[in-house]
């Protein structure tokens, strides 16, 4: 009988040179079982016998048997041998009914409610770089070679703790360098241990809201505000309340006007997107209000590095000892977005907890890159790149202002545009459809965005958010004239009543 | 009057060379206002006059005024001049009452419920690398120079779309290379467009659960299972149901025994942590079950690359056309954890939606690294590194098995230990306290983990999860003898009843 089985198997062997012997054997036996040439509970030859019959090594046979057993085709009984399993693997040919039985897998896939809401408000642009895009730095101007050289040097002899998951909220060297840098550049006061290195501002916002807010908790958010913050608040099921903004930043609401917040989200150094700088008096007011309400302030200092005149105002974080402020920043605007490096400065009372949570939820890494960044900052490359960019962006900003004033008049410039940041607000008359205008411009590769889309409440102001940082002066004129055509297109203007 | 004000300001000027002139002037005026030497609504000198009086350029004065205005210290009235503001910034000296008024900022910070739960079950080890750590590859054996060379070459002349946020779920080149690689290595069948590059398995799990599950949805999870999966399910408020595991992997529960799941989480290629390989018949059964229940299968193929004998079983994803499977993998085990690169293979029906959601929630980047990895795989470096590591780990595994059998006997080896993966299960008697033993070993730098902690339900099996991949044969003996001392310590054995 055994020799018969061996013959049967031999007939099924596909002796292609490209397939290893044990895989040939495995496939042959599997096929015999699937075709029922070998039936359930029939005994297979002992490995030694089969090896001899097929002129294979015994190890080859053992490997094939092991694989078949792992997959459930065969089983062994101690002292009795190897047998074909009763439970034959079912045929991979599914009935059409099975394939289409559930709507779940059809084109109408059911997303979660939070998922639906996220996609319904999705605001990432399909293109991430062309003329006049707000928030985009000039990524070509970055000294890639300098950073890359430091990285290669580190990668030649990496240390063990650069290769494993981060254990202390990121590279301790970058934490030290950043603590020093943020103290002098932004008047942020902290110990290196309070710094948590993140993948960017989105991850920072996600972490603090998940760790410090329960679903349905009230939070205050500037109106208008960054779409990314709104997306994360929505995903984490918070009740977001819009707070008005004026030329001094967020206007603290009158007592009792809004439900007490668990968190207050602000962009004091350059309100996003309107551009006002929060005044010092307003900052002290906000700190005092947060303390009295028992709320955390989340200070998003996203483009504080670019201020083209005047000194910058100290960050909220550093204005008072132990301020109830979580300070977040990133290198996406100062260097380039795909770098994915950001940081949070955490109050001492929650630093360790949030670092542990970060590890549990996201598992940090990229430590060679973080150490390279520490060296890049320490060597002065970072500060000198920012100085160079400030000069470049100031020129581009002036040029854009000139174009706006020349073609649309001074009143077209948003009144809160402070001399800072990477974009300007261009006002539109209330009968203009800024969304349609932005859409038409986007289709021509002019990546301005519609201001009205950045509001939470109904009193939306019409306008365009126009970036200048990524567009060289020599390209700006053409891009702007294309934009003008979209603005002037009567199709996007409602007739006066 | 103006000359008096100018004199007052001059008296407050700190002419240190290290401070810019406009900052000197800004500080002087600010101090006058804070001291009330300049009172509310008093007029400041015109910029031209003050410049003349102090022998400064007019631009310097304008800068200082601009800054003071931005901070709310002064205001201008058109045609009338510049005045000291009524709203004086409040004194930074807070009362003790204000500082301590809220418990929120004290040492008893209130975390969210999800945050509390996360930390309560926190399982990341404070140390991420010493002897016998499960799941840790030998990060020193990785050819860092090869990858670094490719990276430097790319960084010398980066392309624009490597520097901005990722728009297509990651590097299209890496998606293409991975689609090809996974087809041949894991029998995964997909178009490159179905691949989403992630920061690792945690991010992949987070994204699918948030996007496809509502809070309180039922999900099935192998028991025991990976703590990281449990942490993310808990954070996203899912109702997790434990499913038994045997030597063929997850045991499909009898009909009606568990609530119908929205998602089923499995580790078919090497059950984590028990080590069984899901048989082919079980795989078909699970696919059929998922279809009939309308559930998604999440296939975590975390260490499928390391199989020391036999061919590996095709991934669930590739067993049927359009299988309801989300396949996830990472380079953390094959290369090194801090690399932070992983991938998901998404069903076509949800690929675009999940890629958009990834962009909205996390903003992808690291595209130069991803392109470098594509080249690393394409050049064959990845496959040859895995081959080399397989040989190395097989030796280490054999050595560890030898030590266990020699000192504790054959029965001490977990019965599901398949010839794969980066760890083994060492059985302990039920009167042993595996948590205390692991704790004692950890304190000596032996990073084994207690098996009973990986269970969701009460019938916890006692044992240790022992890694072998990161521990050279020559170091294993010493580490193992230290571990033996902990196991034999009568302190960690309950007396027999």
Choose between B68 and A274: higher pLDDT.
A274
Within chain A, all domains assigned CATH 3.40.640.10 are found at 143-383
| CA A211 – CA B119 distance, rounded (Å) | 10
In terms of CA atoms, which chain B residue is nearest residue A107?
Answer: B349
How many whole angstroms separate alpha carbon B185 and alpha carbon B201?
Answer: 19
Cis peptide before A273 (omega within 30 of 0): yes
Q: Please give the pLDDT value at position A308.
A: 84
**Confidence at A68, pLDDT banded by 50, 70, 90:** confident
Query: What is the CB neighbour count within 10 angstroms for residue A415?
Result: 12
Q: Report the alpha-carbon angle B322-B325-B326, nearest 5.
A: 120
Q: Is the per-residue pLDDT at A80 higher than 90?
A: no
| Alpha helices per DSSP H over A76-200 | 96-100, 113-120, 144-156, 172-186
Average pLDDT over residues A9-37: 78
pLDDT category of residue A271 using cuts at 50, 70 and 90: very high
Give residue A341's region: left, alpha or beta (phi > 0; psi -120 to 50): beta
Indicate if the pLDDT at residue A319 is higher than 60.
yes
Whether the CB-CB separation of B375 and B150 falls below 8 Å is answered with yes
Measured from the Cβ of residue A20, the count of other Cβ atoms closer than 10 Å reads 13
The H or E element containing residue A44 is strand A43-44
The contacts of residue A474 (CB under 8 Å, 6+ apart) are none
How many other C-beta atoms lie within 10 A of the C-beta of residue B491?
A: 10
DSSP A240-295: EEEE-EETTEE-PPPTTSSPPPSEEEE-TTS-TTT-PPPPHHHHHHHHHHHHHHT-
Contact B128 A167 (CB under 8 A): yes
Contacts with A356 from chain B: Cβ below 8 Å: 119, 122, 124
For residue B105, the model assigns a pLDDT of 52
Residues of chain B neighbouring A119 (CB-CB closer than 8 A): 353, 356-357, 360
Q: What are phi and psi of B327, to 5 degrees?
A: -100, 130
Burial of B214 (C-beta count, 10 Å sphere; 0-12/13-18/19+): middle
Cβ neighbours around B268 below 10 Å, total: 28
Lookup result for tokens 């005149």: A309
Pairing status of strand A81-84 against strand B74-77: unpaired
CB contact under 8 A, B129 and A164: yes
pLDDT single digits (tens) A210-219: 999 999 999 9
pLDDT band at A292 (very low <50, low <70, confident <90, very high): very high
Residues in chain B: 497
Q: Give the number of other CB atoms < 10 A from CB of residue B407.
A: 14
Residue B325, strand partner residues = B297
Query: Which tokens in the block code for residue B144?
Result: 């860092």
Q: Mean pLDDT score of chain A, rounded to an integer?
A: 88
Mutate to test the interface with B, among A164, A287, A304 (most CBs of B within 10 A): A164
Q: Cα distance from B158 to chain A (closest Cα, Å)?
A: 8
Instruction: Evaluate whether B220 touches B266 at the Cβ level (below 8 Å).
Output: no
Q: What is the largest CA-CA distance in chain B?
A: 99
pLDDT, tens digit, 9 for 90 and up, residues A356-415? 999 999 989 999 999 999 999 999 999 999 999 999 999 999 999 999 999 999 999 988
Q: How far apart are CA B193 and CA B201, in angstroms?
A: 19
pLDDT score of A270:
92
Neighbours of B90 (CB within 10 A): 15
Does residue A354 have a pLDDT over 50?
Answer: yes
Q: Which residues pair with A1 in a beta bridge?
A: none
Q: Name the nearest CA neighbour of A210 among B119, B444, B19.
A: B119
Element at A325 (helix H, strand E): strand A325-330
Residues spanned by CATH 1.10.10.10 within chain A? 2-84
Does the predicted model carry a pTM greater than 0.80?
yes
pLDDT of residue A87: 56
Fold category of B2-84 in CATH: Arc Repressor Mutant, subunit A (1.10.10)
| C-alpha–C-alpha distance, residues B183 and B181, integer Å | 5
CA atoms within 13 A on the CB side of A1: 6
**At a CB cut-off of 8 Å and minimum separation 6, what does B154 contact?**
B162, B368, B371, B372
| Contact between chains at B163 and A101 (C-beta distance less than 8 A) | no
**Interchain proximity A349–B163, CB inside 8 Å:** no
ipTM for the predicted complex comes to 0.82
Please report the pLDDT score of residue B101 as a whole number: 44
Residue B74's DSSP bridge partners are: B84
Contacts of B121 (CB under 8 A, 6+ apart): B227, B230, B231, B234
Report the distance separating Cα B160 and Cα A140, nearest Å.
7
Q: Look at residue A73 in the predicted model and tell me its pLDDT.
A: 81
> What pLDDT does residue B458 have?
64
pLDDT at B256: 87
Predicted pLDDT of residue B92? 44
Which of B112, B131, B324 to mutate to test binding with chain A, by most A CBs within 10 Å of its CB?
B112
**What is residue B97's predicted lDDT score, i.e. its pLDDT?**
44
- Residue of B161, B291, B357 lying closest to A101 (CB–CB): B291
Nearest alpha-carbon partner for A68 in A7, A23, A6, A17:
A23
The topology under which CATH files domain A386-492 is 3.90.1150
Q: Distance between CA atoms of B429 and B417, rounded to whole angstroms?
A: 17
What string of pLDDT tens digits covers the 497 residues of chain B?
A: 457 788 888 877 877 666 678 888 888 888 788 777 888 888 899 888 899 988 888 888 988 888 788 767 888 887 788 888 875 444 444 444 444 444 445 546 789 999 988 988 888 776 667 889 998 899 999 999 999 999 999 999 999 999 988 888 999 999 999 999 999 888 899 999 999 999 999 999 999 999 999 999 999 999 999 999 999 999 999 999 999 999 999 999 988 899 999 999 999 999 999 999 998 889 999 999 999 999 999 999 988 888 887 667 889 999 988 899 999 999 999 999 999 999 999 999 999 999 999 999 998 999 999 999 999 999 999 999 999 999 999 999 999 999 999 999 999 998 888 888 999 999 999 999 999 999 999 999 999 999 999 998 867 889 999 999 999 999 999 999 999 999 999 999 887 65
Sheet holding A449-450, edge to edge: A423-427, A463-467, A449-450
- The closest alpha carbon to A292, from A303, A284, A300, A281, belongs to A284
Contact A73 B280 (CB under 8 A): yes
Nearest to A280 among B71, B122, B231 (CB): B71
pLDDT confidence of residue B231? 94
CB atoms within 10 A of CB B150: 20
Residue to mutate among B25, B68, B72, with most A CBs inside 10 A, is B72
Q: What is the pLDDT of residue B309?
A: 78
**CATH class, range B143-383:** alpha beta
C-alpha B414/C-alpha B424 separation (Å) is 7
Strand, coil or helix: A74: strand
User: Which residues from chain A sit within 8 angstroms of residue B349, using beta carbons?
Assistant: 105-107, 109
What angle do the packed helices B367-378 and B381-408 form, to 10 degrees?
80
Integer Cα distance of B147 and B143 in angstroms: 7
Can you give the three-state secondary structure of chain B, one letter per residue? CHHHHHHHHHHHCCCCCCCCHHHHHHHHHHHHHHCCCCCCCCEECCHHHHHHHHCCCHHHHHHHHHHHHHCCCEEEECCCEEEECCCCCCCCCCCHHHHHCCHHHCCCCCCCHHHHHHHHCCCCCCCCCCCCCCCCCCHHHCCHHHHHHHHHHHHHCCCHHHCCCCCCCCCHHHHHHHHHHHHHHHCCCCCHHHEEEECCHHHHHHHHHHHHCCCCCEEEEECCCCHHHHHHHHHCCCEEEEECEECCEECCCCCCCCCCCCEEEECCCCCCCCCCCCCHHHHHHHHHHHHHHCCEEEEECCCCCCECCCCCCCCHHHHCCCCCEEEEEECCCCCCHHHCCEEEECCHHHHHHHHHHHHHHHCCCCHHHHHHHHHHHHCCHHHHHHHHHHHHHHHHHHHHHHHHHHHHCHHHECCCCCCECCEEEEECCCCECHHHHHHHHHHCCCCCEEHHHHCCCCCCCCEEEEECCCCCHHHHHHHHHHHHHHHHCHHHECCCC
CB pairs under 8 A between A and B: 367
**Contact assessment for residue A101 and residue B200, using Cβ atoms and an 8 Å cutoff:** no
Residues forming beta bridges with residue A189, ordered by sequence position: none
Contact B90 A122 (CB under 8 A): no
pLDDT at B85: 82
**B77 or A452: which carries more pLDDT confidence?**
A452
pLDDT of residue B212: 96
Nearest CA in chain A to B69: A279
How do residues A186-209 score in pLDDT, each as one tens digit?
Answer: 889 999 999 999 999 999 999 999
Facing residue for B284 by CB, picked from A64, A89, A357: A89
Instruction: Indicate where chain A has its CATH 3.90.1150.10 domain(s).
Output: 386-492
Contacts of A135 in chain B (CB under 8 A): none
């Amino acid at each position: 009988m055994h020799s018969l089985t061996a013959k049967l198997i031999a007939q099924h062997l596909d002796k292609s040179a490209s397939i290893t012997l044990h895989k040939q054997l495995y496939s042959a036996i599997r096929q015999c079982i699937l075709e029922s040439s070998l039936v359930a509970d029939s005994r297979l030859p002992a490995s030694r016998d089969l090896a001899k019959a097929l002129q294979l090594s015994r190890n080859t046979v053992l490997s094939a048997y092991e694989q078949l057993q792992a997959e459930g085709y065969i089983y062994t009984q101690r002292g009795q041998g190897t047998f074909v399993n009763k439970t034959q693997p079912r045929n991979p040919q599914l009935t059409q009914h099975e394939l289409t039985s559930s709507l779940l897998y059809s084109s109408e896939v059911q997303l979660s409610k939070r998922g639906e809401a996220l996609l319904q408000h999705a605001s990432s642009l399909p293109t991430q770089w062309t003329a006049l895009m707000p928030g985009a730095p000039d990524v070509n101007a970055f000294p890639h070679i300098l950073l890359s050289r430091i990285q290669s040097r580190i990668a030649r002899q990496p240390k063990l703790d650069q290769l494993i998951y981060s254990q202390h909220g990121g590279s301790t060297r970058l934490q030290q360098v950043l603590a020093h840098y943020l103290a002098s550049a932004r008047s942020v006061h902290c110990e290196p241990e309070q710094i948590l290195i993140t993948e960017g501002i989105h991850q920072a916002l996600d972490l603090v809201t998940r760790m410090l807010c329960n679903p349905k908790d009230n939070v205050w958010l500037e109106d208008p505000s960054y779409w990314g913050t709104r997306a994360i608040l929505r995903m984490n099921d918070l009740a977001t309340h819009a707070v008005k903004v004026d030329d001094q930043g967020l206007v603290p609401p009158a007592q009792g006007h809004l439900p007490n917040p668990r968190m207050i989200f602000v962009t004091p150094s350059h309100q996003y997107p309107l551009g006002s700088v929060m005044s010092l008096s307003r900052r002290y007011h906000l700190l005092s209000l947060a303390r009295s309400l028992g709320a955390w302030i989340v200070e998003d200092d996203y483009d504080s590095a670019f201020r083209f005149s005047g000194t910058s105002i100290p960050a909220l974080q550093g204005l008072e000892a132990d301020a109830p402020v979580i300070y977040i920043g990133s290198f996406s605007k100062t260097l380039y977005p795909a770098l994915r490096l950001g940081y949070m400065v955490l109050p001492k009372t929650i630093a360790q907890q949030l670092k542990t949570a970060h590890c549990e939820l996201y598992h940090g890494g990229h430590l060679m890159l973080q150490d390279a960044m520490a060296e890049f900052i320490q060597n002065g490359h970072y500060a000198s790149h920012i100085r160079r960019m400030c000069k470049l962006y100031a020129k581009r900003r002036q040029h854009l202002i000139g174009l706006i004033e020349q073609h649309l008049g001074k009143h077209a410039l948003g009144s809160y545009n402070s001399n800072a940041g990477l974009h300007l607000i261009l006002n539109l008359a209330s009968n203009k459809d800024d969304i349609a205008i932005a859409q038409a411009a986007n289709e021509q590769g002019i990546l301005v965005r519609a201001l009205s889309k950045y509001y939470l409440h109904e009193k939306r102001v019409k306008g365009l958010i126009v970036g200048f940082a990524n567009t060289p002066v020599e390209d700006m004129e053409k891009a702007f004239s294309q934009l003008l055509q979209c603005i002037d297109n009567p199709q996007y203007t409602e007739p006066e009543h």
